Chain A
Amino acid sequence: MPRRKPTQLTILARNGEGGEHSIAKRDRSLDFGERWSYAPAPEAHSYIRLRDRYQLFINGKFVAPKSGEYFDSVNPATEEKLAEIAEANAKDVDLAVKAARRAHKNVWSKIPGRERGKFLFRIARLIQEKARELAVLESMDGGKTIKESRDVDLPLVAAHFFYYAGWADKLEYAFPGQKVRSLGVAGQIIPWNFPLLMAAWKLAPALACGNTCVLKPAETTSITALHLAEILQEAELPDGVVNIVTGAGETGSAVVNHPDIDKIAFTGSTEVGKRIATALAGTKKKLTLELGGKAANIIFDDAPIDQAVEGIVAGIYFNQGHVCCAGSRLFVQESIFPSVIRRLRDRISTLRLGNPLDKNTDIGAINSRAQLDKICELVDSGLQQGAELVQSRARLPAKGYWYPPSFFTGVTASHRVAQEEIFGPVLSVMTFRTPEEAIARANNTPYGLSAGVWTDKGSKIFKLVNQLRAGVVWANTYNKFDPSSPFGGYKESGFGREGGRHGLLPYLKLS
């Protein structure tokens, strides 16, 4: 029997029609105001022991940099200095690479996989034990909310080490019929958006495969990597197997250009990724790049709208939009555009912006002044090009770097905000009419890291996922991660995969 849609049913007149509970159409927006406002619920952090100065971690020890230089690490929510971080120069990097080379030659490539696995399991368990402390540090140093560092970042960090610990003694089964050997020394450069998680993504597979590492964290978020170094010491990981050199672009460049490195793994901007690829061209070094993105999140008219709205929010406002796979281009089928926008508008006014250490905070601080400036510049360009900006009215704290959850409507493919990665809580909303148009528009970008599809129709999902040029496609969900699932890009979003069995390949020689 065909279902009669409830919209075809009449609305019966009710008592008090037009009375206190009935209001005019223009005023039909929800009021997320101050009634029953939540009291502050800050996560305790008085027990956190921050050092005044963080040194380099080379050959199993914390050592002062040859450069003699230090730079400040700032809490982006307060603009207060947290600590000084050693700046590694080419000499320091050289010491780190030498230590890694010795450790690879003498220890790490010699011991059986099951022994390497034991170390990784031990590291994973230690991370779990100290998860809360690390989460608080991550939030203080990077500005991300404690809700996310506690419930997303840290569990995934531990899971990644657990997952690759399991592979360490099974490598020959991962690639049957082939002999597997480690590459040697891996230089790994990671971004500031998920500092510990990116360290885990890099270190765990490299170590499982028998490589040793020189890791360079991003200059705004070095602290948790150095606390991870303490965990490595506690796990009695042999000296030199992991070395951590802190610093900015020059340090990274020293890692990339060091002659005795066998492989570079980089996660960061497409601009820097291109420079690295140029620098490595013609050398024997292997390279994997995980770069920027401008992902399409596609909502069809047969999608469960409220769930899709949650997916939009998870896609662009998670981690203040500092996510390379953020769903930053929203494509809404024209017929449902008004209803999606209305819901999204009300939904972003419920997002709580403020102290990242408050357990009820949904939107934390922007990672740095430089990033905030970049976001503002791109938003200005959107306004100048005639797009309409919708912003939550969240009050921004006086100190620190903040940007309210925002989205643009009236965007076309020719707008800069539809083309360039904003890397902030700013969404560009566009419309489409047919699935073919959605595919064409979604693929109309130099990037290809991720995409999302929302529809209750399974056949449509299969059709789309096969035609979207993106490394990860989420169907009826967004921003879901698991160590067993490979992650990586098409086109200018990079090459190579991290996670899963595929994540072993960049760290192995097969013969």
Chain B
Amino acid sequence: MAEERAAAFTHRSIKTSAKLEGLKLIVSTTDLTTLEGSDTPGRVAFLCRKAMQPLHPRYEVPNCAAVCVYPNLVRIAKKFLEQSTVKVASVATAFPAGLMPAKLKRQEVRAAVRDGADEIDMVINRANFLAGEYERVFDQIAATKEACGAAHLKVILETGELQTYDNVRLASEIAMRAGADFIKTSTGKISPAATMSVTLVMLEAIRDYFYETGIRIGMKPAGGIRTAKEALAYLVMLKETLGDAWLTPDLFRFGASTLLNDVLMQVVRVVDANYQSADYFSLP
């Protein structure tokens, strides 16, 4: 029934003013991401510029929430974004596999924070999790949280490797209890990445943690969300599962890159009442 419930959100009809508001909310909650072996300072420059100003000011589109890069490129990203409200997020802890000695992972996190990362996207050790070593998973998250200092911690569960909803739910609870500020579905390196039903299970875990503790944890579906239509369905699911308080970049993010221009194209469609060619939208 998780699939059935998730599918129901895609049937909501989001039109006109609600559509425009939703599209802008998607932009403001996007972590514009590049995580390739070929990333260079030049590539990061494109991304940062796009994140600060996604579209011509007359469309009144907000900036993206953050730019997400590998630790080596944090310094470069920070240079571009320092004067803006766009945050710098860095993946860490041996992204994407998470298989590296714990001590080195903490060093990596500290280095990224020192270089200017506002947010750390860590991966859990799926090998430990699938072997049933939940305490180790918990301890590593807690240690990473400590290494983050003031930086916010997003914990990537890599749900495509956990596979079952039971695992996703358990991993979500462990992450929240160990100090995650956000829980995040995927690295984007494993298929399937984010799906609506997995995200729903995580949102329900966040809700139950809120019921229990009064603490609001953020949610970040990442990978595989490419169209404005899909992203709007995620927002519908968020609104109808966790309510109004979560409709903010402080508590919700999309991890995406190709999504952004499809959203912007829809913004132009709503405002100007016609579709523009993709050539009019700058590539990130």
Q: Does A371 contact B (CB under 8 A)?
A: no
How many chain A residues touch B (CB < 8 A): the figure is 45
Chain A residue numbers with a CB within 8 Å of B211 are: 28, 339, 342
From B6-14, B40-48, B87-95, the one touching the partner chain is B6-14
Query: Is B14 a contact of A9 with CB atoms below 8 Å?
Result: no
Contact of A11 among B13, B22, B177, B243 (CB under 8 A): B177
Residue of B nearest to A33 (CB): B244
Query: Is B15 a contact of A310 with CB atoms below 8 Å?
Result: no
Query: Is A360 a contact of B13 with CB atoms below 8 Å?
Result: yes
Contact of B178 among A9, A23, A311, A342 (CB under 8 A): A9
- Write the nearest CB–CB distance from B193 to chain A, whole angstroms: 22
Q: Does B239 contact A (CB under 8 A)?
A: yes
Contact of B245 among A4, A31, A476 (CB under 8 A): A31
Query: Is B134 a contact of A3 with CB atoms below 8 Å?
Result: yes
Query: Is A6 a contact of B240 with CB atoms below 8 Å?
Result: no
Residue of A nearest to B248 (CB): A35
Chain A residue numbers with a CB within 8 Å of B111 are: none
Chain A residue numbers with a CB within 8 Å of B13 are: 38, 41, 359-360
Chain A residue numbers with a CB within 8 Å of B240 are: 32, 350
Chain A residue numbers with a CB within 8 Å of B247 are: 35-36
Q: Does B61 contact A (CB under 8 A)?
A: no
Chain B residue numbers with a CB within 8 Å of A281 are: none
Q: Does B210 contact A (CB under 8 A)?
A: yes
Q: Does B170 contact A (CB under 8 A)?
A: yes
Q: In the complex, which residues 167-196 of chain B have their Cβ closer than 8 Å to any Cβ of chain A?
A: 170, 173-174, 177-179, 181
A310 CA to B132 CA in the complex, in Å?
A: 30
Contact of B214 among A14, A25, A151 (CB under 8 A): A25
Query: Is B2 a contact of A12 with CB atoms below 8 Å?
Result: no
Chain B residue numbers with a CB within 8 Å of A24 are: 214
Inter-chain residue pair count (beta carbon < 8 A): 112
**A12-B179, A32-B243 in contact; A38/B213 too (CB < 8 A)?**
no
Query: Is B207 a contact of A36 with CB atoms below 8 Å?
Result: no
How many chain B residues touch A (CB < 8 A): the figure is 47
A28 CA to B11 CA in the complex, in Å?
A: 29
Chain A residue numbers with a CB within 8 Å of B251 are: 21
A354 CA to B166 CA in the complex, in Å?
A: 36
Chain A residue numbers with a CB within 8 Å of B15 are: 38-41
Query: Is A6 a contact of B174 with CB atoms below 8 Å?
Result: yes
Q: Does A434 contact B (CB under 8 A)?
A: no
- Write the nearest CB–CB distance from B5 to chain A, whole angstroms: 5
Chain A residue numbers with a CB within 8 Å of B18 are: 36-39
A359 CA to B11 CA in the complex, in Å?
A: 8
Q: Does B235 contact A (CB under 8 A)?
A: yes
Chain B residue numbers with a CB within 8 Å of A339 are: 211
A310 CA to B201 CA in the complex, in Å?
A: 13
Q: Does A30 contact B (CB under 8 A)?
A: yes
Q: A4-22 vs B: 1/0 string, CB under 8 Å?
A: 1011011110110000011
Q: A14-B179, A32-B243, A36-B239 are in contact. List 12 more A-B contacts (CB 8 A).
A: A3-B170, A9-B173, A9-B174, A22-B213, A30-B210, A30-B242, A36-B18, A36-B247, A39-B16, A39-B17, A346-B207, A360-B12
Task: Please report A residues at the B interface, Cβ cutoff 8 Å.
Answer: 1, 3-4, 6-7, 9-12, 14-15, 21-25, 27-28, 30-41, 147, 151, 304, 306-307, 310-311, 339, 342, 346, 350, 359-360, 476-477
**15 A–B contact pairs at CB < 8 A?**
A12-B178, A12-B179, A22-B213, A25-B214, A33-B244, A34-B244, A36-B25, A38-B18, A39-B16, A41-B13, A151-B11, A307-B2, A307-B5, A310-B4, A359-B12
Task: Please report B residues at the A interface, Cβ cutoff 8 Å.
Answer: 1-2, 4-5, 11-19, 21-22, 25, 132, 134-135, 138, 142, 145, 150, 170, 173-174, 177-179, 181, 204, 207, 210-211, 213-216, 235, 239-240, 242-245, 247, 251
